[in-house]
Structure 1
Amino acid sequence: MQHGIRRRALAVLLTVTGSAVLVACNGDKPAPAVTTTVTAPAPTVTVTATPTLAATPAPPPTPTEQAAGKPDVVLTGDPDAAGKELQRLQKTGWWNPNKIEYADDPVTALQQFDRWLGKGYIAPGGGWTPAGEAAVEAANNGGPEL
């Protein structure tokens, strides 16, 4: 696009320069009229969309999750399996690392989730319940660890 603009600018420059040379060479004779029309291209607008998790609907919970109201958590010591379990829980909407900070290690994060879910600290959207918020506040003020 810039190449086309440069070409047009060069054409205008050459036309104006050529007109000036003709006037200088012709002396008192009037220079022929030169009309140049330059149209600039329309500006280009680029829109970049950022994908979000909300754009993809979560799959429906399994029958066990519906009956109990909470998802079943399969604990494992394998980091790969723990990562897959956390992904599954995230799809159900219960595990949301954007709302609650978990350990970086998937095995530890899965254990944290299971412990906090069992204590009733995690809400269905993946955030803290009121009891969870109270426990966090207490832990931050010297109370028992979560």
Structure 2
Amino acid sequence: MFVLSVVKPPEGEAKYGKAEVCEPVAERGKLFTQVYWALRERNGWMHPEVANKHAEGVYLIDTGSTVTCEGLTFRIDKAENAPHACPCCGRLVLPDDHSFAAPRDADCLGCFTWEVDAPAHLPQNSAHAVKKESK
């Protein structure tokens, strides 16, 4: 089983873009279709042959690697070690980002801070476009 993550470009002051983690697929080849439609959704004017070529390039990357195309960043992971989107800001959270990052409801490092005095939700650490009040 494989999972495709698609990260959009950052908005406003945010350093990270919002992520979408696609449904797992049994065969790696099915990721091609997910990439193709993410590209076409991003750029409706993109010629289908160009979208095919870009999708093929993304499909060929190594598991755990990323590639950027049309402003979108794509990542392929095995389903058992798949990332998720931060429930607070949407930033992609990898299972090894911090010791509590594996559950699907775990916040990213910009929304959940280990230091008591460190302000959370800062644009430079998350996908929040503007500074948000700490929880």
TM-score of the pair, normalised by structure 1: 0.21
When Rg is computed on C-alpha atoms for both structures, the one with the higher figure is 1
The structure in which a higher percent of residues are helix is: 1
TM-score of the pair, normalised by structure 2: 0.22
Structure possessing the higher relative contact order (Cα contacts under 8 Å, 6 or more residues apart): 2
